[in-house]
Amino acid sequence: MIAALFAAKSGKKVRLIDGNEQVGRKLLVTGSGRANLTNQRMEASRYSCADVIWMETLLKRFGHAELIAFLREIGVLTFSTSDGWCYPVSESALTVVEAFACALRLAGVEMVLNTKVITISKSKEGFHLDLSTGATITANQLIVAAGGKAYPTLGSRGELFASLKKLGHSITPLVPALAPVTCEMNPWKALSGLRFDARASLYENNNLLAETTGNLILTQWGLNGPAVMDLSHHISTRPNAKLELRLNPLFNSEAELRDLIARKRSADTPLRILLGSVLPPKLSPVLIARAGYPLEVLINELNDEQTEKVIKIALAMPFKVTGVRGFEYCQVTAGGVPIREVDPMNMRSRSVPGLALVGETLDVVGPCGGYNLQFAFSSGALAGMDA
C-alpha cells in the first residue's frame, strides 16, 4: 500500500494486486486490532537480519520519523506508550486501513483485488503476471510485497517464492518467527494461565543464545507473549537442538527481595509472604514446593543456604523447549529472500532489473513492538519512491 502510494506520486500508472477482497487485511489484526505501527526507539540492531549496516541504511532513508510524518499526511495520528510502542490515537487498526484505502483511491491507484498472482515471469517486454482470473498483466516495474507464510488465513502463503527463485533469487528456509514456544510443562502445570514480566534466556547446551525481557504467559502447552516470541526464531531455525528456556521473574526486583529477607531474617514471617512482595501470588508456592519446603515454611526456619535455594530457582526457572507453534500461530516469517540480494537505498533487486522486494518477503525478523510493520513500511516507501 505504501509502495503504491509513493509510486503513484510520480504520476506513473500504478496497479495494486492483492488476493484478498480488501487491502491491509493483516494490518487490520496487528497489535490485537490496535496496530502497533512502529517504535519510538527504532534501532537497526534490534532486527535479526544478515547485515545491520544494510538495515541502518534503509532506516536512515525512511525511518520512524518519516513514517510518523507519512501517517499524519494520510490522516493517521499516533501516540507512544512509555516503552516506545506506537499506536494510532484511535487505537484502532481499522482507521489505519481505511486511511490507506482512501489515500490509494485519491492517488488514482488501480485496485485489482480478490485476484491472486499465480506466477511471475520476465521477458524483454517486462514482467508478466499470470492472475487467478486467467488474465495476464504486463508491467515494466514490479514491487513484490507478498509477505511470507505467517498467518496464512490473512493472505500470505509464500506462493510467490517459487517465481522469485525462477527469476534468480535465493530463498533461505521459511520458518515461523514471533511464535509461541512449546515446552515440557509438567513441572510447571500449576502455573497454567499465569502472566508476568520476566527475563527470558535461551540456552543451547548451557550456552546462552539470546535473551529478552518482557511479558509472557504460561499455558498448558508452553509459553506465549512478547518475551518468548522474540526468541522463537532462534528455536525454529535449530530444529534438532537441545534448548532450554530459563525465566527470571526477579530480573528487576532481586535486590529488593534480598534486602527484605535480610531484614526479616529472624521473624516468624512465612517465606511465601516475602516472595509475594515481588512475585505474583500463584508463583511463590510453586517455587517453595520446588525447593522441597512446606508451603508455610517461616523465614526463620531456613538458613541462608536454604533461602538461597529458592531464590536461585526463581532466578532461572527452567523449561525444556520442544519447538514453536506453526505458521498459523506466528506473526512473522524468518527466511525468504536474503537482504544482500536487494539494495537498501531503493529495495531494487540486485539481479533482476525492474524488480523490487519489500517487507516480509525478505529475510528480516524484528522483535515485538512495531518493528515488523516499520520495516514493511520503510522498505515499501523506498521501493515506491524509486519506482
Minimum gap (Å) between residue 108 Cβ and ligand FAD: 20
State how far the alpha carbon of 59 is from the alpha carbons of 56, 84, 314, 355, in Å.
5, 17, 39, 20
| Closer residue to ligand FAD in complex, CB, 25/290 | 25
Of all residues in the shown chain, the one whose CB is closest to ligand FAD is 359
Among 4, 7, 19, 200, binds ligand FAD (CB under 6 A): 19
Minimum gap (Å) between residue 133 Cβ and ligand FAD: 11
324 forms part of the interface with ligand FAD (CB under 6 A): no
Q: Which of these ranges, 24-32, 51-59, 94-102, 313-321, lies near ligand FAD under the rule CB under 6 A?
A: 24-32
Among 5, 17, 42, 314, binds ligand FAD (CB under 6 A): 17
In this structure, what DSSP letter does residue 376 have?
H
Nearest to 76 by CA among 61, 92, 62: 92
Residue 129, judged by CB atoms within 10 A of its CB (0-12, 13-18, 19+), counts as buried
214 forms part of the interface with ligand FAD (CB under 6 A): no
- Mark residues 132-171: x for contact with ligand FAD by CB under 6 A, - for none: -------------xxx--xx---xx--xx-----------
User: How many Å is the maximal CA-CA distance in the chain?
Assistant: 86
359 forms part of the interface with ligand FAD (CB under 6 A): yes
Give 224's contacts (C-beta < 8 A, 6+ positions apart). 180, 181, 216, 217
| Closer residue to ligand FAD in complex, CB, 319/375 | 375
Among 96, 117, 250, 357, binds ligand FAD (CB under 6 A): 117
| Closer residue to ligand FAD in complex, CB, 25/258 | 25
Nearest to 345 by CA among 59, 144, 66: 59
What is the total count of residues that contact ligand FAD (CB under 6 A)?
A: 31
**Under 8 Å between Cβ of 382 and 357:** no
36 forms part of the interface with ligand FAD (CB under 6 A): yes
State how far the alpha carbon of 359 is from the alpha carbons of 58, 59, 130, 339, 374, in Å.
12, 13, 22, 11, 9
Indicate the length of the chain as a whole number.
387
In this structure, what DSSP letter does residue 109 have?
P
69-88 residues in contact with ligand FAD (CB under 6 A) are none
In this structure, what DSSP letter does residue 360 have?
G
SS3 state at 294? coil
Minimum gap (Å) between residue 116 Cβ and ligand FAD: 4
What the block records as the C-alpha cell of 302 is 531456613
CA distance 195 to 189: 13
- Mark residues 361-380: x for contact with ligand FAD by CB under 6 A, - for none: ---------xxxx--x----
31 forms part of the interface with ligand FAD (CB under 6 A): yes
26 forms part of the interface with ligand FAD (CB under 6 A): yes
SS3 state at 78? strand
- Mark residues 272-311: x for contact with ligand FAD by CB under 6 A, - for none: ----------------------------------------
Among 30, 182, 201, 224, binds ligand FAD (CB under 6 A): 30
**Under 8 Å between Cβ of 344 and 374:** no
Applying CB under 6 A, the residues found at the interface with ligand FAD are 17-20, 25-27, 29-31, 36, 116-117, 145-147, 150-151, 155-156, 159-160, 331-332, 359-360, 370-373, 376
